[in-house]
A and B are shown apart, each in its own frame.
Chain A
Amino acid sequence: MLTFLSQRLLQIIPTLILVSMLIFGLQQLLPGDPALIMAGEERDPKVLEEIREQYRLNEPIPVQYFYWMKGVLSGNLGESMRLKSSVSSLVAEKLPVTLQLAAMALIVALGIGIPAGIISAVKKDTAWDYGANIFALWGLSTPNFWLGILMIFLFSVTLGWLPASGYVRPGEDWRASLATTVMPAFVLGNAIAAVLMRHTRSAMLQAMGADYVRTARAKGLYERRVVLKHALRNAMTPVITLGALEFGTLLSGAVLTEQIFTIPGFGKLIVDSVFNRDYAVVQGVVLVTATTYIVLNLLADVAYVLVNPRLRG
């Protein structure tokens, strides 16, 4: 186990170096001049030159990369050109928001997707199955921004039940926090629920046809026990993997949904920073997300090994 862990940890280092180079390099391909966009209407050549100097925009790209990496290794992700605040503090401010939204969306997705998948598999070719399939098709084909705006019109403008947008930290007022995040979480969770439902359904159908299920039935077990204990348990493995992957994607920020509901998470930060060519912020956020993703993957691998001893080398 120790060898396995140390091997995997060693593999992370080149991956992260590659990721950092990619983030840095790809960003340089963006057309536009950060100093120019920063200056906006106040385009004085002398001031522009000062900005370029201050943020080392005049240096060759490898030199810029070197300074950035030097900072990153000493725990300094740089400074936002636009806001003058440190990237680390921005990340620290946004990470809990994105985590909260991702967790809530995942709860929505699991809460809808798995039961719907089970029902449609168990009640195959009945109205329940068709209903669940229609739901999945709807969930997959409805664009987030459209569903988001419709929900705002229904629940905020017409019914007045929920605030149309904005965000409140759970620590400040947990009920208000829930009120501001329930719609975006539903919008995000809905699409994932559809995917989860389809996967659960097919995994369940496979499991339901397996020998051990026939044996369980032959033993005279109640159908409920057969479905939930024998079939579902075996069908869950691929679904959980999928859920974990979707969670990783959610962590990188849900750009459109955050934009519509004005949730100040990673997605909104990245989009604003890309449009403003605020390189340090984009680099910092992508690096943090990539690292989180890699670590999550590692944890998933470790979990597999723990569950399945055959994988230990």
Chain B
Amino acid sequence: MKKTFHRLTLAATFMGLALSGAAAQSNLRVGLAEDPDVLDPTLARTYVGRIVFSSICDKLFDIDEKLAIVPQLALGHETSADGKTVTIKLRPGVKFHDGEAFDAAAAKYSLERHLNMKGSFRRPELASIVSIDVVDPTTVKLNLKEPFSPLLAQLTDRAGMMVSPKAAEAAGDKFGLKPVCAGPYKFVERVQQDRIVVEKFADYWNKDQVFIDKITYLPITDSTVRLANLRSGSLDMIERVLATDIKTVRDNPKLKLVTAVELGYQGLTINLSNGPKADTPLAKDARVRQAFELSIDREALNQVVFNGEFVVGNQWINPTNPYYQQAFPVPKRDVTKAKALLKEAGVTGRMSLDFMVPNNPETRQVAEVLQSMVAETGFDLKIRVTEFATSLKQSESGEYQLYLIGWSGRSDPDGNSYIFHVCGQPQNNSGYCDKEVDAWHNEARIKSDPAERKKIYEKITAKYLPEGSIKYLYHRRVLVALSDRVDGYKQMPDGLIRVVGVKLK
């Protein structure tokens, strides 16, 4: 009897503790996969930071489910006939969180801050802008060096985020500790690695569509723990669910899974000419690279590692993207043809390759599957699991022959290809260089008609896929799991969590 009493008291104490931890009303708790970096749109560079920005900082433009550019803080835009000026009409009556008005002068200030601030990661994105004119209080004109069609797409991300000039001036490079923007939620507090709290902004321009009072972002790096929190009701939403956990989420009647194919890609980068390690037949002969690609069964890879949940691909954009080139479908595995190509290239015996793989369970598995697939043709991949920061450095200095690395993706196809394909570009670590491809890429930047651009990309695809240094493998799915309390959530392909229109039951 006494023991039972003890047990009951213990249980009651635990229950009491648990109840006291229950959330207040209308608080959306979002589990993030990482702790975001600094919350200053000019200085920020992490993907996870963009998730938080989407509730606090509105942008001039946004994207919709079909990747079309739609106005947000802007009402519309007009590009001059020569493509050298872009006039943006701004939404009137918009206020920043500190009560300051958002107008053309503020837009000019924000863009100039992105362009001029020391250490700004936005400068390369807006590099085409020469000057910004305030035409009238609700109109700004961007004067460009030369036509640059991906510019509007840049303005749908951090480069298009508007900050309060007053707050930014006062805070300088500490602005990110207490960001003041014009989004649906305003920043309340942040405890590093613990939480970021934002609350509904009463003067938001679209306030009728904001239904939740408060959002708490909680970085929980371990994916199992993140999911456990969602299952136990401690969270309402989590991002980056593991593909192998999809079944657990689907089988749980209290959870929902929303997905979209990512904007980016996962692929294999081959070192073509960066340092002495590039001295391989794989780097020197495109036929060997084709043989390598023909040894890979992308579908099987997807089945084995991701239960078939991801989308296989062979281009820098996914097959659902309007710019995807249908004429160049994902090649099927063909070992006989691969061997014939190797023979034609004069390769005899087995080829040993140093394969650098960033340390994470999923990529390791992908690497092992690839290793066994290409072994049949005669490629011996020596997997070298490397900590991420180290792998970045080694990819720069050419200390690899193959590198398993992806790209988070941009809404414009230029953002997924230019800096990787064009000679001497910052992300072109493999040393691929083809003047013709460069010229086409530059042409695609100037043209604004999508049909015309697609034709140019077709030429690039035809040349790059057989010869290029990146073998595109698959596109992940953006996997967001929600509690059934969350209503009205729509997943955009950029993976960000947009909170306008979301309700909590």
- CB contacts under 8 Å to A, within B164-200, are 173-174, 176-177, 191-195
Contact of B393 among A31, A46, A93 (CB under 8 A): A31
Report the count of interface residues on B (CB-CB < 8 A).
55
Chain A contacts for B191, CB-based, 8 A? 93, 264
Contact of B426 among A38, A44, A165, A179 (CB under 8 A): A44
CB of B231 within 8 A of CB of A157, answer yes
The interface bits of chain A over 32-47 (1 if a CB of B lies within 8 angstroms of the residue's CB, else 0) are 1100111111111111
CB of B46 within 8 A of CB of A84, answer no
Knowing A31-B393, A160-B232, A264-B193 touch, does A84 contact B222 (C-beta < 8 A)? no
Contact of A162 among B14, B219, B390, B396 (CB under 8 A): B14
CB of A42 within 8 A of CB of B121, answer yes
| Cβ-based interface call for B447 (8 A) | no
- CB contacts under 8 Å to A, within B191-235, are 191-195, 218-222, 224-225, 228-229, 231-234
From B17-25, B325-333, B470-478, B492-500, give the one contacting chain A. B17-25
Chain A contacts for B15, CB-based, 8 A? 161
Chain A contacts for B119, CB-based, 8 A? 47, 50-51, 54
The interface bits of chain B over 103-128 (1 if a CB of A lies within 8 angstroms of the residue's CB, else 0) are 00000000000000011110110000
| Cβ-based interface call for A167 (8 A) | yes
Chain A contacts for B17, CB-based, 8 A? 161-162, 175-176, 178-179, 182
| Cβ-based interface call for A100 (8 A) | no
CB of B234 within 8 A of CB of A166, answer yes
- CB contacts under 8 Å to B, within A152-200, are 152-153, 155-157, 160-168, 173, 175-176, 178-180, 182
Chain A contacts for B38, CB-based, 8 A? 82-84
Chain B contacts for A152, CB-based, 8 A? 225, 228, 232
| Cβ-based interface call for A275 (8 A) | yes
Chain A contacts for B260, CB-based, 8 A? none
Chain B contacts for A31, CB-based, 8 A? 387, 389-390, 393-394
| Cβ-based interface call for B305 (8 A) | no
CB of A47 within 8 A of CB of B120, answer yes
Smallest Cβ distance from B422 to chain A, in angstroms? 14
Closest 9 CB pairs of A and B: A179-B17, A32-B389, A264-B194, A42-B121, A161-B14, A44-B124, A175-B20, A156-B232, A31-B390
| Cβ-based interface call for A260 (8 A) | yes
Smallest Cβ distance from A281 to chain B, in angstroms? 10
Contact of B35 among A85, A175, A272, A277 (CB under 8 A): A272
Q: Which residue of the partner chain B has the closest CB to A269?
A: B193
- CB contacts under 8 Å to A, within B127-145, are none
Q: What is the bound-complex CA distance between A76 and B231, given in angstroms?
A: 43
Chain A contacts for B224, CB-based, 8 A? 149
Which B residues are closer than 8 A to A by beta carbons? 11, 14-18, 20-21, 35, 37-38, 40, 43, 45-46, 118-121, 123-124, 173-174, 176-177, 191-195, 218-222, 224-225, 228-229, 231-234, 387-390, 392-394, 396, 407-408, 426-427
Chain A contacts for B408, CB-based, 8 A? 41
Chain B contacts for A202, CB-based, 8 A? none
Knowing A84-B43, A84-B174, A160-B18 touch, does A32 contact B390 (C-beta < 8 A)? yes
Query: What are 29 A-B pairs with beta-carbon distances under 8 A?
Result: A30-B390, A33-B393, A36-B393, A38-B45, A40-B46, A41-B407, A47-B121, A47-B123, A50-B119, A51-B119, A82-B38, A83-B192, A93-B191, A149-B225, A156-B228, A157-B228, A160-B18, A162-B18, A164-B228, A165-B228, A173-B21, A176-B17, A179-B14, A259-B222, A261-B225, A262-B193, A262-B221, A275-B387, A275-B388
| Cβ-based interface call for A133 (8 A) | no
CB of A164 within 8 A of CB of B234, answer yes
| Cβ-based interface call for A64 (8 A) | no
What total count of A-B pairs have CB within 8 Å? 168
Contact of A54 among B118, B124, B407 (CB under 8 A): B118
Chain A contacts for B393, CB-based, 8 A? 31-33, 36
CB of A155 within 8 A of CB of B14, answer yes
Chain B contacts for A54, CB-based, 8 A? 118-119
| Cβ-based interface call for A107 (8 A) | no
Contact of B121 among A39, A94, A168 (CB under 8 A): A39
| Cβ-based interface call for A103 (8 A) | no
CB of A269 within 8 A of CB of B20, answer no
Chain B contacts for A85, CB-based, 8 A? 174, 177, 192
| Cβ-based interface call for A276 (8 A) | yes
Knowing A262-B220, A262-B225 touch, does A33 contact B392 (C-beta < 8 A)? yes
- Pick the most buried of B174, B194, B396: most chain A CB atoms within 10 A of its CB: B194
CB of A161 within 8 A of CB of B18, answer yes
Contact of B225 among A165, A180, A268, A275 (CB under 8 A): A165
CB of A165 within 8 A of CB of B234, answer yes
Contact of A260 among B35, B225, B231, B396 (CB under 8 A): B225
CB of A164 within 8 A of CB of B232, answer yes
CB of B120 within 8 A of CB of A83, answer no
CB of A180 within 8 A of CB of B392, answer no
Chain B contacts for A38, CB-based, 8 A? 45
Chain B contacts for A164, CB-based, 8 A? 225, 228-229, 232, 234
Q: What is the bound-complex CA distance between A84 and B45, given in angstroms?
A: 13
Q: What is the bound-complex CA distance between A219 and B11, given in angstroms?
A: 46
Q: What is the bound-complex CA distance between A164 and B177, given in angstroms?
A: 28
| Cβ-based interface call for A302 (8 A) | no
Smallest Cβ distance from A238 to chain B, in angstroms? 33
- CB contacts under 8 Å to B, within A203-227, are none
Chain B contacts for A45, CB-based, 8 A? 426
Chain A contacts for B177, CB-based, 8 A? 84-85
Q: What is the bound-complex CA distance between A40 and B191, given in angstroms?
A: 23
Chain A contacts for B388, CB-based, 8 A? 37, 275
Chain B contacts for A179, CB-based, 8 A? 14, 17-18, 20-21
Q: What is the bound-complex CA distance between A82 and B43, given in angstroms?
A: 9
Q: What is the bound-complex CA distance between A272 and B177, given in angstroms?
A: 18
| Cβ-based interface call for A21 (8 A) | no
Q: What is the bound-complex CA distance between A38 and B120, given in angstroms?
A: 12
Chain B contacts for A51, CB-based, 8 A? 119
Q: Which residue of the partner chain A has the closest CB to B415?
A: A41
Chain A contacts for B222, CB-based, 8 A? 259-260, 262
Q: What is the bound-complex CA distance between A134 and B43, given in angstroms?
A: 54
| Cβ-based interface call for A242 (8 A) | no
Chain B contacts for A175, CB-based, 8 A? 16-17, 20-21
Chain B contacts for A275, CB-based, 8 A? 387-389
CB of A262 within 8 A of CB of B194, answer yes
Q: What is the bound-complex CA distance between A90 and B35, given in angstroms?
A: 14
CB of A160 within 8 A of CB of B233, answer yes
CB of B232 within 8 A of CB of A157, answer yes
Q: What is the bound-complex CA distance between A31 and B176, given in angstroms?
A: 28
CB of B176 within 8 A of CB of A84, answer yes
Chain B contacts for A39, CB-based, 8 A? 45, 121
- CB contacts under 8 Å to B, within A267-282, are 268-269, 272, 275-277
Knowing A269-B192, A276-B389 touch, does A176 contact B234 (C-beta < 8 A)? no
